[in-house]
Structure 1
Amino acid sequence: MSRQPKILIVPVDGSEGASAAAEYALGLAQALDVPVRLLYAFPRDPVDMFGIPTEAPGPEELEYFSPEAFERLRDQSAEKAFAATREVLGETAVEIQEQIVSGHPAEAIVAHAAAEDQPQVVIGSRGLSGFKEFLLGSVSQRVLHQADCPVTVVR
């Protein structure tokens, strides 16, 4: 027998797919009286994000290899995604939480959900990196197949 979720986890990246998932999750959260956690996944470090340079990086690339600059980039990117989602959701009585996790998006989302008590993931079917996802497999497909909790994919 399935149990009602205690929290809805919504990965966000500023894309239309993430916004659609957040809107869907908001309606579900209202009906179930549970909070929504907006989750932003960001690479662990500059090497995870940019790879190991094969030639001398220019000043722009080198900037983000400093821990402080990388943290600023993470925080600014997360704030853009959270702000875009808050704008779509508007005013609501539902508790909206925001959290940043580190790592490959699918792995970070699955690990975060595994650490929660009775979560449900509500994820958009397409994020910002469409072609790359086509070649490597989409984040939503990986989460759908790897998570041990209910996952709803929103189109």
Structure 2
Amino acid sequence: MSILAERGPARPATPAPAQPRPVRVLRGRRGEVQRPPTRARVVAGRRPAGAPSAAPRRVPVRWPWLVALAGASCLVVTGLGLLGGGGASAPVPESTATVSVEQGDTLSALAARFAPDSDTGAVVARIEELNRLDQPVLVPGLALTVPVADPAAVPAP
């Protein structure tokens, strides 16, 4: 028979799990993630002292393009106005004739009939001026002096 000498407590066959490191609790900062000590912390948009400042972001210059676009649009609108205006119409004729107003005639109809190439609004204004008309109401049989482009086209009274 053999005698075993006690040498201390017997070890278990499987190693015991390692004890976890104690967690450091920060008071007053609950829920905030801990950052590694090597990372700079930016607080409220300020950089810590000694940190390299980033170059300010350069915004591309757009105002010259906007000025050029505005100028080009003004030129286009002006060009369309000149082309769309119908060009220069013939001036109001200098020669006049006396005509009798018929039933249903208006000043603009008379202007279109006797000065077809001229601006109708300008001819109407000239008829009102020549006859000292305050109102555009015409009475049949009224004699009016109207500018005429072709005196031969006026019917004989």
Query: Given the two structures, how large is their TM-score scaled by the length of structure 1?
Result: 0.21
- The structure with higher relative contact order (CA 8 Å, sep 6+) is 1
Query: Given the two structures, how large is their TM-score scaled by the length of structure 2?
Result: 0.21
Q: Which has the higher helix share?
A: 1
Bigger Cα Rg: 2
